């Protein structure tokens, strides 16, 4: 690993910059808040037209590092939708069905029934569990479930139609994509809280001058940087098709989940009363972090993969 350059090359940085510019133009905070009640389909199609959903596929080219470059920008914008699930699905689905997903015309519901994220809006269903993955279809209606994180979840029974191959590699891509998103979203929270601490005065001094405020923020930033680095390392190994990619992706996801949850706790504390209000600056981000941490494939599979690698 010595000498491994984890910085983006010109093409990868161009992807990150293009996605960041797209988000600044079209994914404002009010759009993210509104997505909790009505999914912004036009925004999702715009992301597809940008080519992001096709990354790491035969149609779109690139690989996992390009996915991470895009997800870092999307996480910072708290971009809504089944992003990681889409990257998993596009590795598994046959060409015709994959095309519907890549165009943005069909959302993906991925996970183990009966409770699936995005099921009420999905047109493509992939059952994913420890035993494997299957292309599936709903049996009966989908019962919508309200969630604190502002995502459209649903209870549904699925009928398995076709077993899907390359599950492990697809799951790893989803893990590292989610890790990149979570680390970036957590970093936004920490930076927003740090700016608040610099400008908010208490006892005649900026909040940031108190070690009880500045030190937890610094610790959270360090943890998030480490998680983002792990995601880039995992992406590099995924692209190199090395055998350790699955364990590294699982490690990145677990690290990003823990670091982003810690960042959310610290940010809420720094913001004080603003941190506990639904319309406040922290809740917009932390609600999505808490929800995405639990997305399929869940953290249990990642822990099992790491323990198995250690012979435990």
pLDDT tens for 135-184 read 999 999 999 998 888 899 999 999 999 999 989 999 999 999 999 999 99
pLDDT tens for 8-59 read 999 999 999 999 999 999 999 999 999 988 999 999 999 999 999 999 999 9
Distance of CA 130 to the CA centre of its chain: 20
pTM, two decimal places = 0.93
Q: Mean pLDDT score of the chain, rounded to an integer?
A: 91
Indicate the pairing of strand 153-164 with strand 132-145.
Answer: antiparallel
pLDDT tens for 61-109 read 999 999 999 999 999 999 999 999 999 999 999 999 999 999 999 999 9
The pLDDT value recorded for residue 1 is 46
Structural domains of the chain ordered from first start: 10-166 (1.10.540.10), 168-309 (1.20.140.10)
Phi, psi of 6 (to 5 degrees): -100, 5
User: What span, in angstroms and rounded, lies between the C-alpha atoms of 69 and 306?
Assistant: 25
User: What span, in angstroms and rounded, lies between the C-alpha atoms of 260 and 187?
Assistant: 8
Q: What percent of the chain has pLDDT over 70?
A: 94
Q: Are 124 and 108 in contact (CB under 8 A)?
A: yes
pLDDT tens for 216-253 read 999 999 999 999 999 999 999 999 986 678 889 999 99
Residue 304 has pLDDT above 80, yes or no: no
User: What span, in angstroms and rounded, lies between the C-alpha atoms of 282 and 276?
Assistant: 8
The pLDDT value recorded for residue 312 is 63
The strand ranges marked E within the chain are 108-111, 115-117, 124-129, 132-145, 153-164, 201-202, 205-206
Report how far apart, in Å, the C-alpha atoms of 44 and of each of 16, 177, 188, 305 are.
Answer: 17, 17, 22, 32
Element (H, E) at 261: helix 245-271
User: What span, in angstroms and rounded, lies between the C-alpha atoms of 232 and 234?
Assistant: 5
Residue 256 has pLDDT above 50, yes or no: yes
- Least confident segment among 49-53, 71-75, 210-214, 299-303: 299-303
- Least confident segment among 121-130, 259-268, 277-286: 277-286
Nearest CA to 70 out of 145, 24, 18 is that of 18
The pLDDT value recorded for residue 274 is 82
The pLDDT value recorded for residue 242 is 67
The pLDDT value recorded for residue 241 is 82
Indicate the pairing of strand 132-145 with strand 108-111.
Answer: unpaired
């Amino acid at each position: 690993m010595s000498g491994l350059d984890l910085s983006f090359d010109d093409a990868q940085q161009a992807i990150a910059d293009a996605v960041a510019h797209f988000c600044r133009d079209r994914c404002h905070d009010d759009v993210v808040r509104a997505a909790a009640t009505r999914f912004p389909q036009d925004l999702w199609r715009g992301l597809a037209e940008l080519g992001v959903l096709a990354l790491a596929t035969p149609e779109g080219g690139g690989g996992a590092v390009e996915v991470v470059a895009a997800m870092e920008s999307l996480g910072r914008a708290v971009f809504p939708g089944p992003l990681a699930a889409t990257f998993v699905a596009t590795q598994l689905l046959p060409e015709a069905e994959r095309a519907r997903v890549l165009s943005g015309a069909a959302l993906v519901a991925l996970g183990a029934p009966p409770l699936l994220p995005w099921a009420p809006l999905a047109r493509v269903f992939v059952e994913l569990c420890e035993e494997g993955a299957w292309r599936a279809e709903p049996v009966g209606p989908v019962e919508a479930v309200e969630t604190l994180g502002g995502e459209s979840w649903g209870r549904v029974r699925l009928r398995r139609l076709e077993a899907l191959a390359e599950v492990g590699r697809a799951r790893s891509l989803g893990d590292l994509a989610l890790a990149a998103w979570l680390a970036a979203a957590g970093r936004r929270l920490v930076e927003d809280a740090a700016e608040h601490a610099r400008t908010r005065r208490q006892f005649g001094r900026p909040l940031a001058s108190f070690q009880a405020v500045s030190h937890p923020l610094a610790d959270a930033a360090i943890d998030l940087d480490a998680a983002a680095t792990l995601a880039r390392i995992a992406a590099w190994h995924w692209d190199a098709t090395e055998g350790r990619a699955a364990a590294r992706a699982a490690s990145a996801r677990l690290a990003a989940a823990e670091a982003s949850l810690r960042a959310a706790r610290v940010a809420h504390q720094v913001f004080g009363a603003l941190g506990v209000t639904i319309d406040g600056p922290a809740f917009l981000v932390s609600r999505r972090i808490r929800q995405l941490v639990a997305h399929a494939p869940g953290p249990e599979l990642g822990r099992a993969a790491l323990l198995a690698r250690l012979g435990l």
